[in-house]
Amino acid sequence: MVENIFYARNDELKTDCSFRPQSYSPPAWAAGLSSQPAVRIALAQRPTPLRRWAVAGMPADVELWIKRDDQTGITLSGNKARKLEFLLADALQKGADTVITCGGIQSNHARATAVAARELGLDSHLLLNHPQPDRNPGLVGNLLLDRLVGAQIHLITYEEYQQRETLMRQLADRLIAQGRKPCIIPEGGSNALGSWGYLEAIRELQEQTEQAQAGLTDIVFACGSGGTAAGLSLGVKRSGWPVRVHAVNVCLHADYFHKKVASIVQGMGAEYSPDDLDIMDGYVGLGYAKSRPEELLLMRDVARATGVILDPVYTGKAFFGLWNELSQAGRARFKGAKILFIHTGGLFGLYEKLSELTPLFEEPQGGWRYGAG
């Protein structure tokens, strides 16, 4: 066993001013909300870039932009960093020394939570859904990063995962009995507090689009747990920004997400209407984290043409949905639109798809050896 000589520095990290929660002031248009967070901790690299995205094959009357929230940080990459700025600030304020969260076996949220927790001197416990929970899950993609930062992995079946809130509470009780101070963070960081990350992102987006004179009409993004959708839709509504908000669900169905987003928004102290959010249902495909060949092919083509690498679980499905909507006759949703696609991260999930991606790449003529062709 290799002894970790760095854990003794945890208390020092907690007193480092760069890791202390700072007071938070919401945008003026959000001041009336009843559940305003008091503190926030700087985790994400903000603002993330916003730029035109020249994807070939777009209809002539459509203009495409991209918001690179995959660049919130290298190991924190993705939308979860914005939510964790509020969730982990709250955990530190409450004196937590451990965080507990959950997700799929390649959960981006679980990985971001584990990495951010370790940066802040906190331990992490991850309940991950796996079809074979009695076997070593390996060191692929997000799992490798989870284990590199010392996260405690607890594997559970899909059936057990349906009781994830109960299981996390039971784990918290065991840790409390051991003298620890755990804080539970929900799936995806998607609750009223975490969703302030994307309500606040609306302020950032409005400043950037005004500076770029983008004149956006629509925002499109992947939806997996509802927190990003809640923050964006409420931010747009409260600020009076005349853009339409579209979530491409990558699991479950539109009715589920309308109810989930409504619950989160109500927890933030506001009312929700289904008119606040267009859920682009019908692109779940083979299921959550399962890819169709045509989805992976589009990801490859986009990467080759633009250098933007999408992920197979979230942004790949979301962009596949947008691409199909733009290809349909009539294109009622996006006729004459200026669309912002939010890249919410997930790059590490690609590594679990190697066997499915391999057939998409040609062998070089003449072989791999330099000078052989």
**Is 34 tagged catalytic?**
no
Enter the CATH code of domain 23-78+194-356. Answer: 3.40.50.1100
Return the structure tokens found at 150.
């010392």
- Given 18, 34, 35, 107, which residue is catalytic? 107
Q: Are 97 and 122 in contact (CB under 8 A)?
A: yes
Burial of 39 from C-beta contacts in 10 A (0-12 / 13-18 / 19+): middle
Q: pLDDT at position 17, please? A: 53
Q: Are 171 and 203 in contact (CB under 8 A)?
A: no
3-class SS of residue 34: coil
Dihedral sign for Cα 175, 177, 179, 184, please: positive
**Residue 236, φ and ψ in degrees, nearest 5:** -65, -45
Q: Please tell me the distance from the alpha carbon of residue 99 to that of residue 68, in angstroms, as a whole number.
A: 27
Q: pTM of the entire structure?
A: 0.93
Q: Please tell me the distance from the alpha carbon of residue 305 to that of residue 56, in angstroms, as a whole number.
A: 8
Q: How many Cα atoms sit within 13 Å of 12 on the Cβ side? A: 4
Cα distance between the two ends of the chain = 49
Calculated CA dihedral for residues 48, 51, 56, 62, nearest 10 degrees: 120
Q: pLDDT at position 16, please? A: 54
3-class SS of residue 352: helix
Q: Are 133 and 106 in contact (CB under 8 A)?
A: no
Which helix (DSSP H) or strand (DSSP E) does residue 80 occupy?
helix 80-93
Instruction: CATH 3.40.50.1100 in the chain: give the residue spans.
Output: 23-78+194-356, 79-189
Q: pLDDT at position 367, please? A: 87
Instruction: Could you please state the CATH topology (level 3) that the domain comprising 79-189 is classified under.
Output: Rossmann fold (3.40.50)
Residue-wise pLDDT tens digits, 306-346: 999 999 999 999 999 999 999 886 578 899 999 999 999 99
Q: Which residues of 299-323 are buried (b: 16+ CB within 10 A; e: fewer)?
A: bbebeeeeebbbbbbbbbbbbbbbb
Which helix (DSSP H) or strand (DSSP E) does residue 170 occupy?
helix 164-177
Q: pLDDT at position 277, please? A: 98
Q: pLDDT at position 373, please? A: 59
Q: pLDDT at position 7, please? A: 47
Splitting the chain (373 residues) into consecutive groups of 10 residues, what average pLDDT does each group show? 45 57 96 92 96 93 97 92 98 97 96 97 97 94 96 97 97 98 97 98 98 97 97 98 98 97 97 97 96 97 97 97 86 91 95 94 88 69
Q: pLDDT at position 122, please? A: 98
Q: For residue 181, which amino acid is it?
A: K
Q: What is the DSSP letter of 57?
A: T
Q: pLDDT at position 269, please? A: 96
Q: pLDDT at position 228, please? A: 98
